[in-house]
Amino acid sequence: MQKLVEIVAGVTSGTTTATAVVEEHLARIKAREAEIHAFNLVTADQARKDAAKIDEDVKAGKVVGALAGVPIALKDNMCTRGVETTCSSKILQGWKPPYDATVVTKLRNAGAVIVGKTNLDEFAMGSSTENSAFGPTKNPLDISRVPGGSSGGSAAAVSAGFAAASLGSDTGGSIRQPAALCGVVGVKPTYGTVSRYGLVAFASSLDQIGPFTSDVRDAATLLEVISGHDPMDSTSIPQPAASLVSVLDHGVKGMRIGRVTDLPEGCEPDVLARLEAAFDAMRNAGATIVDVKLPSLQYCLTAYYLIAPAEASSNLARYDGVRYGNRVDAADLNAMYAATRESGFGEEVKRRIMLGTYALSAGYFDAYYGKALKVRRLISDDFARAYKDVDAILTPTSPSTAFKFGSKTDNPLAMYLCDVFTIPTNLAGHPAMSVPFGVGSDSMPVGIQVLATTMGEQTMFKVAAELERAS
């Protein structure tokens, strides 16, 4: 399978065409999509039209974008004008947005060819893509195992070669965890680096869009394209995109890499062994390993599962059968609201709405939600102290390799623990990414997570590139 940068080089030089590239990827989709179910919708006809237009521009000598001819898949919670956007929920089935998300506009302007909308845990709530109203996505490397979640379809699309790259959203690890389980690169940028305009909200203070790719260079290239200030997003950081590709060959000599000595328990021995191998690789490349403590990590999971459901409870109140999606008719307005939401939302979404509503209710706000916000500040303070001593931190991405379907569905807490290493950076707003680094005893990929401080993407990508070279 061609890398993103190879496709762009081939299309712009004329050694291949965007049409040929797109047809190659559509053929892979046709061959395995029924087995994998990475997509909710494949936009083959439009992809062919867009590819043909790029080829015309190349022949005419026109300047084409930095992603010319690159097939890209979009998580189905990003608005696409006139194209169904469902969030893998029955309540939005058939809804076609009247506008494009900012990231979609940026991709199109850069010459990317969008091949479809990928499956996800309903409204991005889950860690296995088993919570989709349209059925689960399977891991292309072993279809008896989950691809991770919530962006499981986006990770699977890249892992299976259905798209050269994809976009997902990350609220508590929803890019990085599936990237680790599917053996691809996944990036959650600093909060505010990539516009959230047109991203259907789950938890607005935590959500961030980021890329999936097959290697670090492609991730850097794609993130440069989609980053930058957007006046349509009030949380967008008012500064241009950082140069990332330019730092990939700088190495890590002289850098200080943090080892967290009080990591939460529960990580599989195989994963911890790969983490130790990653630290060895850093030492061999000239970095110094420095022990750091993050004492508030033990409270991250609890804080997140109060803050995120609380925000979800507010954000999802808009789905009432009046303004969006499906409606179930009933005797009166309140009955219609109840019937629509009962039939439209899945069990995990209902669970989180109820958790969030309870945490925000009178008499419990200070005891639960208010306290969780204080913990969030403690987590940020712990990271700030750690980054005084180190340039970046390495942890596992996921406590395990990809697990079997159904093994955690009856135990929500076990499923929530899948995100124990990824949640902290969402609470802090920092960047983090997962890089494939070997396999476990089951021959499934292990991801190593690289963490950096706010706007520390350049440092993060230097470390990620070095890990990739050593893997």
Cα–Cα distance for residue pair 276/83, rounded to 1 Å: 45
User: Which tokens go with 285?
Assistant: 């490349």
Among 212, 399, 211, which Cα is nearest to 297's? 399
Reduced to 3 states (helix: H, G, I; strand: E, B; else coil), residue 436 is strand
- The residues with which 394 forms a beta bridge, in sequence order, are 259, 450
Among 390, 384, 308, 387, which Cα is nearest to 349's? 308
Residue 434 annotated as catalytic: no
User: Which of 128, 132, 154, 174 does the annotation list as catalytic?
Assistant: 174
| Kind and range of the H or E run holding 185 | strand 185-188
Polymer length of the chain: 471
Residue 204 annotated as catalytic: no
Among 352, 410, 443, 326, which Cα is nearest to 130's? 410
User: Which of 75, 188, 408, 462 does the annotation list as catalytic?
Assistant: 75
- Beta-sheet strand order (sheet of 445-451): 39-42, 113-118, 71-75, 165-170, 208-213, 185-188, 432-439, 445-451, 392-396, 256-260, 288-292
Cα–Cα distance for residue pair 360/365, rounded to 1 Å: 5
**Rounded alpha-carbon distances, angstroms, from residue 357 to 111, 169, 204:** 43, 23, 16
Reduced to 3 states (helix: H, G, I; strand: E, B; else coil), residue 467 is helix
| Single-letter code of the amino acid located at 360 | L
| Residue 239 DSSP class | S
Instruction: Please provide residue 392's backbone torsions phi and psi, each rounded to the nearest 5 degrees.
Output: -155, 165
Q: What's the distance, CA 126 to chain centroid?
A: 12
Cα–Cα distance for residue pair 38/24, rounded to 1 Å: 17
Cα–Cα distance for residue pair 348/129, rounded to 1 Å: 11
Q: Is there a contact between 415 and 305 (Cβ–Cβ < 8 Å)?
A: no
Q: Taking each helix axis from N to C terminus, what angle separates 102-109 and 216-226, rounded to the nearest 10 degrees? A: 110
User: Which of 88, 150, 236, 398 does the annotation list as catalytic?
Assistant: 150
Q: Report how far apart the first and last C-alpha atoms of the chain are (Å, whole number).
A: 19
Residue 75 annotated as catalytic: yes
Q: Which residues are catalytic?
A: 75, 150, 174
